[in-house]
Amino acid sequence: MSVQQPKAAMARHPRIAELALALGGFGIGTGEFVIMGLLNRVALDLQVDPQDVGYAISSYAMGVVVGAPIISTLAARVPRRALLIILMLVFALGNLASALAPGFWSFVALRFIAGLPHGAYFGVAALVAASAVPFHQRARAVARVMTGLTVAILLGAPLGTWAGNQFGWPVAFAGVGAIALLTALMVRIFVPVQPVDPHASPLRELSALLKHRVLFTLGIASIGFGGMFAVFSYVMPTLTEQAGMDESLGPLVLAIFGIGTILGTLAGARAADGNLMKSIPGILIWCAVIQGLFFVAANSMWWGLLFVGLVGTSMALGPALQTRLMDVAGDGQTMAASLNHAAFNLANALGAWLAGVATRGDLPWSTTGLVGTALALGGLLVFFAGRAVEKRGA
């Protein structure tokens, strides 16, 4: 049984308010994905192997996993606008400090701190957006918030990669910090004060963790989404060392991936609003197929670039799972919405780690595609297991 949240207060300038929320997603997405394009440069400057930079990727992801439930619990009675501003300020601090990291392990630790606000920000922003539209348009409202994330992959990460290669990788993270500060200011000016649910409490938010449908949905995200990150985390060494692509084309790779994520997000949102429970397994099957084909496609630069874009369409899973959580979370809406992004970043950590392990031996870099297929199929198994438990309970 779904719980309807209080309608969001009307913004004086609704389009600018929506832009402010999306700008936060743009900063978060740029900070999360730019390191993929700078992986070789970070490894060289900090004197580690490229695979070791995967620890920084996983560290950020684990920050999201840890931060989402803790922040959602402790901030249950904090007004949503104030919470969004605080989260952006912490995100800005983590990225500005990352730019000043004196060594590799301090950089890894600071990426963890930068990841802490990620899940809670997207969760709260999605709830604000979804509560302001008719019920049957929720997935598309969530998709509009997530557009900032996908545009970051299309524009922010490529620009950050270019700037990092031209002026040093710390410049990219300093730029992300500046975007976060601008977001905090825009949210303060243009997003209206959101009503506080008088019944909100840490215990009520934690109730979401007792619902098996919530846990299965998070399980789908934690495993099924990992395939996209398995491929994308090592896309640069895959295309440069296996397909012979020039490293200067790194921004193009990120832009192509970004186009795929935008198309996937929009298509996934429309499919979810049409038939939610059929869209989820359909998207997972699509992910398994295109990630598996990347294993072969990456032997050619042009085919590899095409499949980078197709792998990006895996982002279609995001709006569908976010909407599913709204339906099954009951009283723990903020917790569930935040944990969705925590689960995606657990998938990020899992995918990056498994892909790193798979490519340390004699196997080609494109083995990451096979890892992706296995994870997508794992997510599909979790979906069917959850449906079986749900039908048995009914």
Distance in angstroms between the alpha carbons of the first and the last residue of the chain:
13
Reply yes or no on whether the pLDDT at 280 is more than 80: yes
Are 358 and 367 spatial neighbours (Cβ–Cβ below 8 Å)? yes
Mean pLDDT of 216-240: 92
Mean pLDDT of 306-310: 95
Reply yes or no on whether the pLDDT at 85 is more than 90: yes
**Predicted pLDDT of residue 87:** 96
Domains of the chain in sequence order: 14-393 (1.20.1250.20)
Phi, psi of 244 (to 5 degrees): 80, 20
Q: Which string of b and e fits 81-106 if b means at least 16 CB within 10 Å?
A: bebbbbbbebbbbbbbbbbebeebee
From the list 381, 366, 379, the residue with the least C-alpha distance to 292 is 366
Where does the pLDDT of residue 228 fall: very low under 50, low under 70, confident under 90, or very high at 90 and above? Answer: very high
**Stretch among 69-83, 212-226, 278-292 having the lowest mean pLDDT:** 69-83
Q: Which two tokens stand for residue 346?
A: 């657990």
Where does the pLDDT of residue 78 fall: very low under 50, low under 70, confident under 90, or very high at 90 and above? Answer: confident
* Selected residue with higher pLDDT from 249 and 224: 224
Where does the pLDDT of residue 101 fall: very low under 50, low under 70, confident under 90, or very high at 90 and above? Answer: very high
**Predicted pLDDT of residue 374:** 96
**Predicted pLDDT of residue 269:** 87
Q: Kindly tell me the number of DSSP H helices and DSSP E strands found in the chain.
A: 19, 0
Task: Please state, for a pLDDT cut of 70, what percent of the chain lies above it.
Answer: 92
**Predicted pLDDT of residue 11:** 55
Mean pLDDT of 278-285: 95
Reply yes or no on whether the pLDDT at 52 is more than 60: yes
Q: What is the rounded average pLDDT for all residues in the chain?
A: 86
∠134-147-356 over CA atoms, to 5°? Answer: 130
Reply yes or no on whether the pLDDT at 216 is more than 90: yes
Where does the pLDDT of residue 1 fall: very low under 50, low under 70, confident under 90, or very high at 90 and above? Answer: very low
Q: Which two tokens stand for residue 114?
A: 């930068």
* Residue with token string 């994905």: 33
Q: Which two tokens stand for residue 326?
A: 């709204």
Where does the pLDDT of residue 10 fall: very low under 50, low under 70, confident under 90, or very high at 90 and above? Answer: low
The one-letter amino acid at 234 = Y
**Predicted pLDDT of residue 326:** 79
244-251: long-range contacts, CB 8 A cutoff, minimum separation 24: 244/301, 245/301, 245/304, 245/305, 247/40, 248/165, 250/37, 250/158, 250/161, 250/162, 250/165, 251/37, 251/158, 251/159, 251/161, 251/162
Q: For 339-391, what is each residue's pLDDT tens digit?
A: 887 888 788 888 988 998 898 878 899 999 999 999 999 999 999 999 999 88
Q: For 154-173, what is each residue's pLDDT tens digit?
A: 889 889 988 998 999 999 99
**Predicted pLDDT of residue 140:** 74
Mean pLDDT of 119-143: 76
Q: For 172-191, what is each residue's pLDDT tens digit?
A: 999 999 999 999 999 898 87
Where does the pLDDT of residue 248 fall: very low under 50, low under 70, confident under 90, or very high at 90 and above? Answer: confident
